[in-house]
Amino acid sequence: MSGAARYCVFGNPIAHSKSPDIHAAFAAQTGQDLVYERRLAALDGFAAAARQFAAAGGRGANVTLPFKLEACALATALTMRAQAAGAVNTLSFSDGEIHGDNTDGDGLVADIVRNAGVAIAGKRVLLLGAGGAARGAMLPLLEQRPAELSVANRTQAKADALVRQFAPLAGAGRLQACAFDAAGGVYDIVINATSASLGGALPPLAPGVFGRDTLALDMMYGARPTVFMDFAAGHGAQVRDGLGMLVEQAAEAFLVWRGVRPDTGAVLASLRAAL
């Protein structure tokens, strides 16, 4: 493996990351010769760590919390989706250049459309949160041409700002902002992009946003359903966690680096069984 292409994931903390397992499975499946490792970066040392990895021959890196904004600033060139997200989760190192990309939103869309089998085009979509996770999802969601995309946030001013930024890309679809408790009517898709589930909390949503055919997806995942998933299921929705999004964003990064898209089904099933 000495000649293998080298990749890693940077984060702090990082020991929990499933990315090495995912990319090892992708490499075995596609016959790619690579090694992929976890790298803990000091909270004030991400840029130096990334440059050091590149200088030592690293070909690319994934970036997780809390370094996605710093990765965006570090990049010498950004893809359109990284510019729109204002954050980078995938770096490519080549000829002294650092290319930044963001595969999170495309991973979310792939999980909804391909894995869950739910079309986004023409649907009413409610996106909860206006932070980095929500921002990364905006462009890929709008590219699917939903009939309506509503951004709900505890502080509506942040949702308003996000809607203003993406309004030129909304096309014929309706893009609007509201407070959590002002979201009204049944939505086809409800996406929790807040971090509330990490603390066992729930955005103050009206139960009426969920219907029998609603897909409610929480970007968080774990061995048990999140509070958001339990709440949505209790009001009739079909629920899904963020594990599929994790695998799909990794597949998109693998495509960026290696030029081949792995099949995600078996990898996702294996990770789910191990939770």
- Give dist(CA 188, CA 4) in Å, integer: 45
- What is the average pLDDT across 204-208? 95
Residues assigned a catalytic role: 68
pLDDT tens, position by position, 221-274: 999 999 999 999 999 999 999 999 999 999 999 999 999 999 999 999 999 999
Q: Flag whether pLDDT at 2 surpasses 80.
A: no
Q: Which residues have a Cβ under 8 Å from the Cβ of 201 and sit 6 or more positions away?
A: 227
pLDDT tens, position by position, 127-145: 999 999 999 999 999 999 9
- What is the average pLDDT across 196-209? 94
Q: Flag whether pLDDT at 173 surpasses 80.
A: no
Q: Flag whether pLDDT at 36 surpasses 70.
A: yes
* The two structure tokens encoding residue 89: 């989760």
Beta partners for residue 100, in sequence order: 78, 91
Residue 229, annotated as binding a ligand: no
**In the chain, what percentage of residues exceed pLDDT 70?**
99
Q: Flag whether pLDDT at 114 surpasses 70.
A: yes
Q: What's the pLDDT score for residue 1?
A: 45
- What is the average pLDDT across 139-163? 96
Q: What's the pLDDT score for residue 55?
A: 97
Q: How far from the centroid of its chain's Cα atoms is residue 205's Cα?
A: 22
Residue 90, annotated as binding a ligand: no
**Cα torsion 189, 193, 195, 198: sign:** positive
Q: What's the pLDDT score for residue 169?
A: 86
pLDDT tens, position by position, 211-234: 999 999 999 999 999 999 999 999
- What is the average pLDDT across 166-178? 89
Q: Flag whether pLDDT at 42 surpasses 70.
A: yes
Burial of residue 244 (CB within 10 Å: 0-12, 13-18, 19+) is: buried
Residue 89, annotated as binding a ligand: yes
- Give dist(CA 38, CA 217) in Å, integer: 27
Q: What's the pLDDT score for residue 255?
A: 98
The average confidence (pLDDT) of the chain is 96
Q: Flag whether pLDDT at 102 surpasses 80.
A: yes
Distances (CA, A) of 34 to 9, 23, 25, 216, 264: 14, 9, 11, 36, 18
Euclidean distance between the first and the last CA atom of the chain, given in angstroms as a whole number: 29
- What is the average pLDDT across 18-28? 98
Confidence of residue 170 (pLDDT cuts 50, 70, 90): confident
Residue 213, annotated as binding a ligand: no
Residue 144, annotated as binding a ligand: no
Q: Flag whether pLDDT at 45 surpasses 60.
A: yes
Residue 49, annotated as binding a ligand: no
